[in-house]
Chain A
Amino acid sequence: MNKALIISLFLGYLAVLFLVALLLEKNNKLRKKIVHNPYVYSLTLAVYCSAWTFFGSVGMAANNVLEYATVYLGPTIMAPLFWVVLRKMIRISKIQNIISFTDFISSRYGKSLSLGRIAAICLALGIIPYIALQIKAIDLVFETIQFWGDTESTAGSSWLDSGFFFTLIIGIFIILFTTRKTIPQGKNDSLVGAVAFESVVKLIAFVAVGIFVFMQTDQTNTGNLSTWVEGASFQLNDNNSYAEWFGMIFLSGVAFLLLPRQFEMAVVENVSEKQINKAIWFVPLYLLIINFFVMPIAISGNHLLSGFTVDPDMYVLAIPLALDNSFISSVAVVGGFAAASGMVMVSTHALSKMLSNSVIMPYVINKPFIAKSFENHSQKIPIFFRRVSIFLVLVLAFLYHQISTELFSLVSIGLVSFVAVAQFAPLMVGAMFWKLGNCHGAIAGLLSGYVIWFFHLVVPSIAVLDIYPESFVHWTILGGASSQTSAITQVLFWSLLVNSLVYVFTSLFTQQTAIERNQAEIFVDVFRYSKIYESSVVWKGTAYFPDIKSLLERFLGAQQAETELAYFSKKHNIKWKANSKADGKLVTFAEKQLTSVIGSASAKIMVASVVKEERIGLKDVVNILKESQELLRFNKELTRKSSELKRATDALKRANQKLQANDELKDEFLYTVTHEMRTPLTSIRALSEILVDNGAELPEDMQTQYTTTILKESERMSRLISQVLDLENFESGKHKLQLDHLNMVELLEDCLTSMQPVFEKKGIEVSLDIQKTVPTVMGDYDRLTQVVLNLLSNAAKFVPEKSASIKLTAYQVEHKIQVNVRDNGKGISKELQRVIFDKFFQARNQTIRKPKGSGLGLAISKKIVQLHEGQIWVDSEPGKGARFSFTIPLNTRF
């Protein structure tokens, strides 16, 4: 193997990667499929596994340091929390169009420019050494190759060439990849595809080396793997291992979510929250597989390569080289490239975005010279500064690599970076779960944590370079640290403790700004606000639609701006005229759109340039927030209220209908009464008129007949009138029953006695069958007599002239006394039976005539029986007579 082969492998690999990206860019269907695939998403999260994983884990294991495993246990243990934390980060970023980690932080803390700037610089400080680490790994790869036999070039080549070469190529690649155009939603689908591809390559490569080691070691004459494993002794550091393990696991878990490259892939590039479901188990599985062969390779390396001065970090490559297998060596090299380049690409991409969006652009975006030099190409401003930032990050990484990477192993630089990133944990947790956390607290906490980090983890490395006196190192808390891991966990503990306390207390003792209060609300309760984001942002001021429009056109391009505005117009049903004023919703929307292109800080500056914003008091914000919170509760309340209202309306409607019905009944009754009266009145009037007009002509007997009829009809009138009054009095409750212990037998006999003259006159045969033992009942003597008499006189009216008979019976049935009046008249049709007790009978049945003279008697009887809590009914068949019955309960208590 020689250097030329390595270089061609490297270039070949990048070419393949580029082809993958290109393929995805050209093929829309495939790209969509790839980006939406949850496994692809999970694979992109494996960008976590850098060259440090690929080479460094074995290095650590070879030195009997088992703690390397914590770097993977952390994310594994953290995975179930993805659903809570990661999903929230994704949701927030989506509704606020956040495209970078610093945007996320500064958005939450009142869109603070200074916090964004500080965060970006801090992250760069923490991550650039980590990028440098990857460059170092590549350097080591070249060195290792040279060590094993590329003799011809040992003299001329230097390590500077390979590192520089790698950085340069990667730099060009990143610029090609990520800055060819502004991406509206901050999404870069081909990057997703490429990173997932790299994750597959490094996994396959590492597993291939592992299997190779398994298969090959048996054939060597120095022994085999199983005997080596028996001989190996691994020990945890005795002193404070539990705390350290816990610290390390916590650290990697936090880093997995907060590292810029992780945030980039997990949050910014996420297309669907559902992808998290798969990632929760797929990511730990990936980490398990890639770690499976670490131990065997480390043990084999220690034995196989014991005679050589080989850095254990390079065992993965050195073993196949030593065994002279150039294919597996090439696989290992490509895997290393994939791991290193993936990390460098995504980290540089993320960092450059932060630096340009949060640090550089806010300074320059509004400066006249920028506007002048980009004139009609404002869209190119973000691209230009992005490229500048990429260049800056890579140059700094390369310089750092030159100065200091000699001093550290691969793993330790990584861990130092992890601790730096962990300083963002308090303010990130606060951002999503604590509404009172504010910008002052975030800045103070972050800086205090970074100071501790810097002096205890960074300064010592520089101190060795004799910049600081060596005694300074011992002055720090690390003076007594027994191991590297111990130092890392101690610094982690103290820095995070101080950081958190400073963050919390500064937040508690300083004021939030209005926007901050607003954003805090939206971040913490994002799942509640996601639907009403634009209307839940508090904004007061004056802006004009054309200004907003031209601003969007400047950065999004005319076409994109048009599309976005059309969408907004449709969503909110707003139409603008040339000089319309823009409302808060539109301003928020525009700022959101700009954020995805130039970052939140610059977007804020640009929007502020066209908007005359009024200062909003904290009180206003709180009020409006309350409103929008209550809006949701209100909606529910409103639904409830309106259904209540509907119920009330229905009840009212029913009551009204009843009232109307009552009214109608009243009308009907009146009509019935007058109708009933018309019949006798008609006779009286007609007959009297005839008598008056023709008195002389009428024979005497006719005169007598006429006057008798007039008299009878007048009596009928009087009876009717008293019946109407009776009925009315019963119904209105004026008539009360005069209750007494009644002997029904006596009552019925009295009735028969009083009717006797009528029966005799008509020649009606009356029979009586009364059970003598019926008990007494509580009742009104006069009223019940009225009922019986009514029934008897009705019967007397309808019996035939010949062989007329009426039968009166009474007996006890269960707890009632039943009284029946049977006649042998012509009977009552079914139709009539239904309505015969009805006082409104006439009016409702317009053309069926109730038998003459029945009047209201039955209606009154029914009322009286009902007042006694009894029942009244008729059984009859036409031609077979009728039987009227009523019951009176025995044990009625009134």
Chain B
Amino acid sequence: MEPTQPKVLVVDDEPNIIMSLDFLIRKEGYQLFIARNGKEALEIAQTEKPDLVVLDIMMPDIDGYEVCKRIKSDENLKHTKVIFLSAKSRESDIQKGLNQGGDLYVTKPFSTRNLMKEIKIFLNQKA
């Protein structure tokens, strides 16, 4: 793979989600990184500097909002796009996610087609 290929970090503790996103993201030719909790996500973000993060909110340690906030306030990561992918579907949850600097908020259950479309748009913009 080309080193210039965009990097995508998927953060979720649900194996089925990872299983499906794994296939779809690789299929598009992006580099995929997987984190199963907030702490792991921040570590990978620091080292790999992904172009885009698909972020769950409810996680055992650091929640997705906090992860997003830290990524967005990090000088090295400020260009990283964040897509929340969460079962939390209240208007207030969505608003909170966007206020923390999230670029998009997708509620579960989600359409893989639409999600991938959005991911491509973000990554193409970057390119």
* Chain A interface residues (CB < 8 Å from chain B): 671, 674-675, 678-679, 681-687, 689-690, 693-694, 697-698, 702, 705-706, 709, 713, 842, 846-849, 852
Contacts and interface: CB of A to CB of B under 8 A. Distances in A.
Contacts of A846: 58, 63, 88, 93
B57 A689 contact: no
A679 B56 CA distance: 12
B17 interface: yes
A847 B57 contact: yes
17 contacts: A674-B89, A678-B87, A679-B87, A682-B17, A685-B111, A686-B21, A686-B112, A697-B27, A702-B23, A706-B19, A846-B93, A847-B57, A847-B59, A847-B65, A848-B58, A852-B13, A852-B14
B109 to A, nearest CB: 4
Interface string B89-127: 110010000000000000111111100000000000000
Contacts of A849: 13, 58-60
B70 to A, nearest CB: 14
A678 B16 CA distance: 13
B41 to A, nearest CB: 14
B13 A687 contact: no
B50 interface: no
**4 nearest CB pairs, A to B:** A847-B63, A683-B16, A682-B108, A678-B87
Nearest to B96: A846
A698 B24 CA distance: 11
Contacts, number: 80
Contacts of A697: 27
A687 B20 contact: yes
A685 B109 contact: yes
B60 A681 contact: no
A846 to B, nearest CB: 7
Nearest to A683: B16
B116 to A, nearest CB: 9
A705 B113 CA distance: 20
A689 B13 contact: no
Instruction: Categorize the interface residue count of chain B.
Output: 20 to 34
A690 B111 CA distance: 10
Given A693-B112, A849-B58, A687 B64 contact: no
Interface in B19-71: 19-21, 23-24, 27, 57-60, 63-65
Nearest to A686: B20
B24 A678 contact: no
Contacts of B112: 685-686, 689-690, 693
A675 B88 CA distance: 7
B88 A682 contact: no
A675 B20 CA distance: 20
B113 A689 contact: yes
Contact of B109 (A682, A694, A702, A709): A682
Contacts of B88: 675, 846
A682 to B, nearest CB: 4
Contacts of B110: 682, 685-686
Contacts of B17: 682-683, 686
A681 B107 CA distance: 12
A698 B63 CA distance: 33
B64 A847 contact: yes
A684 to B, nearest CB: 8
Contacts of B19: 687, 705-706, 709
Contacts of A847: 57-59, 63-65
Pick the most buried of A674, A698, A846: most chain B CB atoms within 10 A of its CB. Answer: A846
Contact of B16 (A675, A693, A713): A713
B68 to A, nearest CB: 12
Q: Give the interface centre of A687, A709, A849 by most chain B CB atoms within 10 Å.
A: A849
Nearest to B64: A847
Given A678-B108, A847-B58, A683 B27 contact: no
Contact of A689 (B60, B89, B111): B111
A683 B111 contact: no
B56 to A, nearest CB: 9
Give the one of A671, A686, A702 with max B CB within 10 A.
A686
A688 to B, nearest CB: 9
A853 to B, nearest CB: 10
A683 B19 CA distance: 9
A690 to B, nearest CB: 6
B24 A679 contact: no
Contacts of A848: 58, 60, 63
A840 to B, nearest CB: 14
Nearest to B114: A689
Contacts of B23: 690, 694, 698, 702
Contacts of A709: 16, 19
A682 B57 contact: no
A687 to B, nearest CB: 6
Nearest to A678: B87
A681 to B, nearest CB: 4
A690 B24 CA distance: 8
A676 B57 CA distance: 14
A682 B87 contact: yes
Contacts of A713: 16
Contacts of A684: 109
B64 to A, nearest CB: 7
A671 B107 CA distance: 14
B20 A683 contact: yes
A842 B57 CA distance: 12
A740 B109 CA distance: 44
Contacts of A683: 14, 16-17, 20
A682 B108 CA distance: 6
B109 A681 contact: yes
A687 B16 CA distance: 8
A686 B16 contact: yes
Name, among B57, B88, B93, the residue most crowded by chain A CB atoms within 10 Å (CB to CB).
Answer: B88
Contacts of B27: 694, 697
Given A681-B109, A682-B87, A847-B64, 9 more contacts: A675-B89, A679-B108, A686-B20, A686-B112, A687-B16, A690-B24, A697-B27, A713-B16, A847-B63
A679 B59 CA distance: 13
Contacts of A698: 23
Contacts of B14: 679, 682-683, 852
Nearest to B115: A686
A686 B63 contact: no
A873 B6 CA distance: 49
A405 B63 CA distance: 118
Most chain B beta-carbon contacts within 10 A, residue among A689, A697, A698: A689
Contact of A693 (B108, B109, B113): B113
Nearest to B37: A849
